[in-house]
Structure 1
């Protein structure tokens, strides 16, 4: 139905606590309903091209998405079905201005493959982008770059178990650009270039993509699918496929897959953008009407049902992953009409799951046997409906953690929740829905297009934010959210055809599977479950601040858009910009202190735990439980991060909640609490994932690269295991307490609010703080010196994985802001060349990247660097290739076309971003203390727009010097793969 209801789903495999990346998963749902009978398609002039006849074919305007549903239709969409069976939906939307988002969905994913075709759906996605009827090999990327499209973000595709979706976001959609783009997309669907040459060029890229996946996570995912979905195709149908099937692929076999599944009646075209609906509809009709399928239409395969028989449990030994357990209750998936009552019942289920998760989180915070645990209810890939629970134990005692989590669930199944618990969840859901109504006018076209495609895949509809809220309010009026109904739901969602449990340990145990099965079935009903009741919490319970501060100066620092700077008597600075373009959105960013620059450069300190434990440590007498209750029903957040030159508190709020948002932030600085539990939890969490920092080349880069770029300065270096184990709450407080009280404060408030009201709110909060000490600053270390041979690190992952890095020092500080922007353009040119050579031509790396990093808040430390994940024997090839590109950029000016293909997407990214308040906030961040930041606003456009080939050549000659480069190779250790049993 609505985005809100769907957004709560499919947390099954996320394991967000662990940051595990998994293949694209289709959200379960039935195959799309077949279109109504239609007349034969007109004869095409070319595959996917315009009809030979001058008269446009008649389309069926039936809103096909809503067949069988009583959900209120979102009238902003226009639906249609072409005579060839292709369905489409178009919508006018001006967010961001000038952009058009196109999605072409094919109802074919990895579950439609045979054993010999594993990986074909994904391979075909690659081949379609590489070349097709209207575009020679590799040219579609260049055409779209000239139209301002950034490859990999604005033009991309994804393949899941059940669908393949092609994505194009045109940032400046002219009539000619739209027509050309629709022609290219239609040719990609009807006539991709599947030749021996293209297949042999793209196959290594797909194999490289598979090779670059992190081994431990892949093995966990494989084991999970094989166990949970035993006997179903889902168990063995990863979208990435298998090397055996991919290597055996021939042009004929891939064409056969394409001809079988790429058919107009299995396609949906979704277009949303700043163009009249009539024009969007005409483009679909013009370019997709002539598409005809090959041969008889195939039947969608039977994806099977969960089996009651089969293995119940499995153990895995992956030291690079935290110890964990995942249990699931599986039920057959079935087609269910997306109706009002169906969604209301699902809302009751959602409340039941939320209550369980809140209780689990409360137990984890108070020192339970588990670090984290959460439950979710999902439909997966038209194969199963399941309730899953993920458990991250403290230490290695997963058995006790699993039983304790099951005890919380058993308690929820035995005793109805209180109405107060239900009302809290209802209030938070309602607050989220109301915010969506308020912000609906600024919902992006990309978001709307993605939502509709997702709805098609899972056999759901879409409705407006108001429509979704009406369904929710009707459920409240029917008194559906009562203790008895939630209890019944809690019982039902933990019943099913089969129960399974998968466990990961760090050391081999002879009986893991047997212990897991016993823990899954053990009677835990007698376990004592203590619930912490949190009563009504108000902002009046926060510590009082001082008298409101006085403004001592006020000036306009940027004319267009109007940005003001105010200084309060206590030294607090405010940058403010009132703009109602983003309805009901207000962004707050508070920079305080000196960030990493305030830390000592001669020893390791527990700053690493700050982003995990500092905010949960509480405010005044309120702990995290109480703060959650305080802000859960409001649009108020409390995010914290550490920059090189400042600490940052940030959130998105509303005009109504802004004053309390500011009060929460200010009180955190004035009266922080020091609950030891979050520190203990942070330490346990980091230790649980510690071995993972050696598990793959990119894990090693994540652990070491910042440190190496900073000459091993401890401020940018990860702590050792001993340093983590030595952390105490007292040491954490000793570091952070003075940091919260010292250093300058800059408050930024940008968005849909009243400037005078906001100034008063800042005066009453940050303006009321005591004056602060300036804070000490330790200079940043230099960039490492040139090395004759690469620095070599090792990883403990797959033996066919390696990484290579080459970097050249540049600079830092706002005095060089113009040069920093032009280095971004140089990096874009370098990236495009490296991508073409390393990926498209050599096929040895899937996602090489080049970036420029110029720290505006530091006087030095900038670099331009290239990174590639590749086979171990290709690291020297990477260095030679990168050095060759660097030398050529320094010796020869690039062509104007190459410059335009790098510059136009960058310009369009800036233009699109500049329609949002967050863009301007980030642009002037730090500007209250450094006037050059503010001065750089007016120079942004000319700094980028007027760059010439000679400018980039001069930059390359200045910085990409062979005697200055620094190189790193991450190579595998010899190690046996982990075992499962």
Structure 2
């Protein structure tokens, strides 16, 4: 897998992510830090180095290999292992372009102790999924192998380290396997082709100032990938896979001394390299001028403007550096909130935008401002974002903004601190990867929490305001404009763009921080008591029925210290409304939430909730309506007040809704003007599977004209007017006796009519028979295939288990045949989905991308595998893999709040037994060679929809 830093991923995909950055995550620890590092008295010496987490055992072998070991019991009987190579694509020679990534692939195609595909087979048999669990990635500067394994099997656990050792120096690099893998990697490269890749090829050399990074994208060149000799790959492996550039990381539920012994034994026998090739640290040269790149493409759907202020990377080494990182996090949070507020206007200046300081690439950090232009108006979009930067420069942030940002920051760290004994192993490993590859320090959450408590209050507004002068400067600056080809003539010139950037901030006034100081609920609800209680002891669930008819399902857990998840659902949804009201009903919950609630508009509500761990979102779906939410135990009452408010006092905000619909209309028009191949294909899939029903048509700009705000709010009120037919679910760290009065007050106080509603069956079914549709879109020589089987089912636990088993055993065979044998795909999936409502139905999908000339051949190979399943059933070994993976997955899920919330909601919604999950082994026992044969004949037969995306036909 190819991986880019987050900042470059955004640039490569031209995707907008509206996020508020905080300082880099800190590792957590269960032991107190020694007082010398975390003194409880007085201010720390800011020149002192950041203390490393003492719970991490770090060592170095004689051959130069580094190891990190940490005991962590979440999840139980599991470990996260990593092999990190501090070498990536930037180190390739001209004749090796793409071979760092190629080498990553070859590690799964044969090693000394695991020939050919035995490594994947062994791990699948232990319940480790290929791709989902077992994986790897290659970046510019590093290659990382990811291996999550069970620790309750000595054989599996010790063999996992043998796999890591084999990756380190025992890859076989068989020429036959190399030639087979060429096709797989060329298919991965093919998947990355499109507008983003074509534009990237134009602007990358300029953005990265013709540095080595601009010339060494990890995917490589087609010329090298198709022609290199195996000895060239072996040379890369020999040069860079060496112990002084390696780290082994082990975090999990194990004995640390035992693991250290295994590491020393296995990795200590790797010979040190006597005259190692120098590991060059490449820089991206600075430049005094402003680089401007304007690129267009026929398949680019919108206009994106990015202003990137590059600056030397900040290395966090001392406590002073740590304090500076907190300031940067506060700055990003406040500026992000301001820019987000711009979308709340009646006529927003852009479809989306943000400004953010973060790490970049190589030796650089960057302050980046991005705006997605509305109707192609580059000037208005980028000026709006840059004006917010300039407003900070001219007037600074306000004291109230800083106070909220500090509160929010502290709340996030407090949550990590409170969860320090429940933190999952996977959350630690990346910290140690970054420490090895980029010398990023890792400290304990105890130290960081105490440091933040001491230092944050002393961070003055003037200090944070001063950061803007560090971030924004005229040198080492780049501006990238990506736009649809059809708009090329309308785009501003390079000189105009520089003018927009240089002249931002004219005629600004200071930001006004408008807040509201009122209770969420002006009138307190009238409580109603619990009138019935039922225990389901084998899964630790309690059911309450309140006097107003509300049903509450409770599962107290200790999986997280600071987490309570909740949801609610009721049948009905948009299915109850005629087609003329469909769009108003479809957007009803979105428009209601945009108005805020009660006396609070959306912006004021966000400020009111700042620093609280509260999330509440109402929704109206096709067959039901409900609420999803979460809260820390201390904020649960606020969350329930907000939930009550969303039920009883939705707020109308015509200006915000007008702005939202205006942006939606503009975005939809962009899709029509410059349709992407994948977008057109996905629309075709949806329309076809929906049998061309009007409610399955792609959303069009004119559909938004059918939305009536008053009607939408009326529909929303109707859907939430009767809480008596809702079931609420609570999972997490609460005590029933403490939750009860809150439930009786806020849920018991909800309105109820005493009636029970059902959804309407709209009759939307996938068409029967054999259907084939081919979409011809796209300039690149790439195709996408979906084979979809549908039909009715007998709703039962056995049916769902047999469908899941069928999907897994078929996917195993598809990977073996289409990827490993035919080298025709990078990835292929088989998946089963099933639902009881509106009627019990299943959808079974097979997906893959490939070369257009291989479509028919690979579909034929797929059908051969399906026919073989129908004739003979699955191999017993593949069935065993499915069972092992399912059991391993369930072991972890049973200790996860999110799993239980979704599971309980599904069981109650479908009227199924709440304790069904405890009987999984009984269902797995029914999966046999014969049952998979029967399932293949039942579910992969009559109703097949074949959907193919092909490139445009050349005239």
Normalised TM-score (structure 2): 0.90
Aligned to 1:905: 885
Q: 1:204 aligns with which of 172, 180, 183?
A: 183
Distance 1:914 1:736 in 2: 35
Distance 2:659 2:270 in 1: 58
> C-alpha displacement at 1:861, in angstroms?
3.3
Deviates more, 1:573-582 or 1:318-327: 318-327
Distance 1:549 1:589 in 2: 20
Return closer, same or farther for 1:828/1:257 CA change in 2, 3 Å cut-off: same
Do 1:71 and 1:339's aligned partners in 2 also have CA atoms closer than 8 Å? yes
Aligned to 2:39: none
Is 1:750 the counterpart of 2:728 in the alignment? no
Distance 1:945 1:229 in 2: 57
> C-alpha displacement at 1:382, in angstroms?
2.0
SS at match of 1:76: coil
| CA-atom RMSD in angstroms | 2.8
Unaligned runs of 5+ in 1: 1-8, 22-26, 30-67, 977-981
Do 2:565 and 2:630's aligned partners in 1 also have CA atoms closer than 8 Å? yes
Distance 2:188 2:106 in 1: 14
SS at match of 1:541: coil
Q: 2:559 aligns with which of 552, 562, 581?
A: 581
> C-alpha displacement at 1:300, in angstroms?
2.5
> C-alpha displacement at 1:786, in angstroms?
4.3
Distance 1:423 1:475 in 2: 14
Q: 2:606 aligns with which of 617, 625, 628?
A: 628
Q: 1:792 aligns with which of 764, 774, 781?
A: 774
Q: 1:525 aligns with which of 495, 500, 505?
A: 505
> C-alpha displacement at 1:278, in angstroms?
0.9
Distance 1:618 1:302 in 2: 51
Return closer, same or farther for 1:927/1:898 CA change in 2, 3 Å cut-off: closer
Distance 2:582 2:773 in 1: 23
SS at match of 2:421: helix
Distance 1:199 1:358 in 2: 50
For residues 789-828 of structure 1, what are the structure 2 equivalents within 5 Å? Answer: 790-795=772-777, 797-811=778-792, 815-828=795-808
Do 2:395 and 2:510's aligned partners in 1 also have CA atoms closer than 8 Å? no
Aligned to 2:763: 781
Distance 1:910 1:289 in 2: 36
Q: 2:845 aligns with which of 842, 853, 865?
A: 865
Distance 2:645 2:13 in 1: 28
Do 1:127 and 1:192's aligned partners in 2 also have CA atoms closer than 8 Å? yes
Is 1:273 the counterpart of 2:255 in the alignment? no
> C-alpha displacement at 1:644, in angstroms?
5.2
Distance 2:722 2:499 in 1: 50
Is 1:133 the counterpart of 2:112 in the alignment? yes
Aligned to 1:671: 649
Aligned to 1:618: 596
> C-alpha displacement at 1:704, in angstroms?
3.8
Return closer, same or farther for 1:824/1:218 CA change in 2, 3 Å cut-off: same
For residues 450-599 of structure 1, what are the structure 2 equivalents within 5 Å? Answer: 450-476=430-456, 479=458, 481-495=459-473, 497-506=475-484, 507-509=487-489, 512-514=492-494, 517-529=497-509, 531-535=511-515, 537=517, 540-556=519-535, 558-595=536-573, 597-599=575-577
Return closer, same or farther for 1:348/1:207 CA change in 2, 3 Å cut-off: same
Do 2:305 and 2:372's aligned partners in 1 also have CA atoms closer than 8 Å? yes
Distance 1:488 1:975 in 2: 57
> C-alpha displacement at 1:866, in angstroms?
0.6
Do 1:100 and 1:169's aligned partners in 2 also have CA atoms closer than 8 Å? yes
Q: 1:216 aligns with which of 174, 180, 195?
A: 195
Q: 1:715 aligns with which of 673, 684, 695?
A: 695
Q: 2:172 aligns with which of 176, 185, 193?
A: 193
Distance 2:223 2:217 in 1: 14
Q: 2:716 aligns with which of 729, 736, 743?
A: 736
Do 1:553 and 1:566's aligned partners in 2 also have CA atoms closer than 8 Å? yes
> C-alpha displacement at 1:426, in angstroms?
0.7
Is 1:844 the counterpart of 2:827 in the alignment? no
Deviations 1:346-372 (A, max 9, x none): 211222222222221122212441232
> C-alpha displacement at 1:180, in angstroms?
1.2
Deviations 1:408-461 (A, max 9, x none): 211211223222221111110000000111112111111111222133333111
Aligned to 1:386: 366
SS at match of 1:552: strand
Residue correspondences, number: 917
Deviations 1:240-296 (A, max 9, x none): 122122122220111111111111110111101111101111121122111125562
Deviates more, 1:733-742 or 1:946-955: 733-742
Deviates more, 1:463-472 or 1:123-132: 463-472
> C-alpha displacement at 1:193, in angstroms?
2.3
SS at match of 2:448: helix
Is 1:919 the counterpart of 2:899 in the alignment? yes
Do 1:502 and 1:516's aligned partners in 2 also have CA atoms closer than 8 Å? no
Aligned to 1:343: 322
Do 1:597 and 1:780's aligned partners in 2 also have CA atoms closer than 8 Å? yes
Return closer, same or farther for 1:931/1:777 CA change in 2, 3 Å cut-off: closer
> C-alpha displacement at 1:69, in angstroms?
7.1
Deviations 1:504-534 (A, max 9, x none): 2331126534255334443233322463423
Deviates more, 1:77-86 or 1:659-668: 659-668
Do 1:595 and 1:646's aligned partners in 2 also have CA atoms closer than 8 Å? yes
Return closer, same or farther for 1:222/1:185 CA change in 2, 3 Å cut-off: same
Deviations 1:926-969 (A, max 9, x none): 444543242534433322354222222221122221x3322111
Return closer, same or farther for 1:333/1:657 CA change in 2, 3 Å cut-off: closer
For residues 351-366 of structure 1, what are the structure 2 equivalents within 5 Å? Answer: 351-366=330-345
> C-alpha displacement at 1:140, in angstroms?
0.8
> C-alpha displacement at 1:213, in angstroms?
2.2
Distance 1:127 1:881 in 2: 24
Return closer, same or farther for 1:14/1:878 CA change in 2, 3 Å cut-off: same
SS at match of 2:108: helix
Aligned to 2:411: 431
Distance 2:506 2:660 in 1: 31
Distance 2:871 2:743 in 1: 54
Normalised TM-score (structure 1): 0.88
Return closer, same or farther for 1:465/1:394 CA change in 2, 3 Å cut-off: same
SS at match of 1:925: helix
> C-alpha displacement at 1:190, in angstroms?
0.5
Q: 1:375 aligns with which of 347, 352, 355?
A: 355
> C-alpha displacement at 1:603, in angstroms?
7.8
Return closer, same or farther for 1:581/1:28 CA change in 2, 3 Å cut-off: closer
Do 2:564 and 2:631's aligned partners in 1 also have CA atoms closer than 8 Å? yes
Do 1:329 and 1:494's aligned partners in 2 also have CA atoms closer than 8 Å? yes
SS at match of 2:606: helix
Return closer, same or farther for 1:186/1:938 CA change in 2, 3 Å cut-off: closer
Aligned to 1:46: none
Is 1:948 the counterpart of 2:928 in the alignment? yes
Is 1:766 the counterpart of 2:713 in the alignment? no
Is 1:885 the counterpart of 2:865 in the alignment? yes
Unaligned runs of 5+ in 2: 18-22, 26-46
Aligned to 2:629: 651
Aligned to 1:178: 157
Aligned to 1:75: 54
Is 1:854 the counterpart of 2:834 in the alignment? yes
Deviations 1:867-919 (A, max 9, x none): 11122222222332222222211211323212112221122111111111222
Distance 1:835 1:872 in 2: 19
Is 1:94 the counterpart of 2:76 in the alignment? no
Deviations 1:369-416 (A, max 9, x none): 123221121222323221101112332212122122212211211223
> C-alpha displacement at 1:735, in angstroms?
4.5
Distance 1:457 1:595 in 2: 51
> C-alpha displacement at 1:713, in angstroms?
3.0
Aligned to 1:34: none
Do 1:659 and 1:758's aligned partners in 2 also have CA atoms closer than 8 Å? no
Aligned to 2:29: none
